[in-house]
Amino acid sequence: MLVTSRSAAEYRAMFDLSPADLTGRVLDCCAGGSGFAADVPDAIAVDPAYALGYDEMARLVRAGLRDGDRMIDANRDRFEWEWYGTTERRAAMRLDAAESFLADLRARPGRYVAASLPDLPLAADSVELALCSHLLFTWANQLDEQWHHRAIAELVRVARREVRIFPLVLQGSGEPVEFLDRLRSSLPANELREVPYRFQRGARHMLVIDAGTTSSTA
């Protein structure tokens, strides 16, 4: 799995975040080399790759920028460019995000927690909002429905207010995930909400789960 570096601007669009959404502690789960936690006053980032330490993360983040650009160039028709405008603008955002991530990882290592879904070393209700981008659903060809149940239940456990997940389609093909509707029916109150971000074809909605209700059977 690639360690990618998305910028805070991309996160704001992927999760349609308003300033009010960002009050209180925010969790970026499976954050990779993203610059979101560095940009938000009270954020925590989780990723198993953080166990590798700063030097190896720096190497992976730089490799991720290079490999990500190559993958995009080789598959241009899988993407819509209206949000980024140009490939150069996207690449510049990713580079800024990588630098911002690495500077923050060095300056505030306590914000970056090495852990993996579906078991987070965080107390119940310890964040207001939990965000998860490009792991759940994206990798549903490798991570099965039962794993998704457990991972989402864990995000709901640690979030006091809300969980937001984007995108909801498979990586590569952009096909819908077969078990999405079934999974949704077992979650607390939830909805699909269109977001302003555009990139992978077919990825226009996030899943918003009300973590304040406790009827999950996951």
Ligand X SMILES: C[S@@+](CC[C@H](N)C(=O)[O-])C[C@H]1O[C@@H](n2cnc3c(N)ncnc32)[C@H](O)[C@@H]1O
Q: Which residues lie near ligand X (CB under 6 A)?
A: 1-4, 6, 29-32, 34, 47-49, 116-117, 133-135
Q: Name the minimum Å distance from CB 48 to ligand X.
A: 5
Residues β-bridged to residue 132: 29, 165
Cβ proximity to ligand X, 112 vs 187, nearer residue: 112
Q: What is the DSSP string of 54-90?
A: HHHHHHHHHHHHHHHHHHHHHTGGGB--TTT-SHHHH
The DSSP output letter for 179 is T
Q: Name the minimum Å distance from CB 164 to ligand X.
A: 12
Cβ proximity to ligand X, 22 vs 135, nearer residue: 135
Q: Name the minimum Å distance from CB 163 to ligand X.
A: 14
Q: Distances from the Cα of 70 to the Cαs of 75, 93, 206, in angstroms?
A: 9, 16, 26
Cβ proximity to ligand X, 189 vs 201, nearer residue: 201
Cβ proximity to ligand X, 30 vs 168, nearer residue: 30
Residue closest to ligand X, measured at CB: 32
Q: Name the minimum Å distance from CB 28 to ligand X.
A: 7
Phi, psi of 190 (to 5 degrees): -150, 160
Nearest-angstrom CA–CA distance, 185 and 214: 14
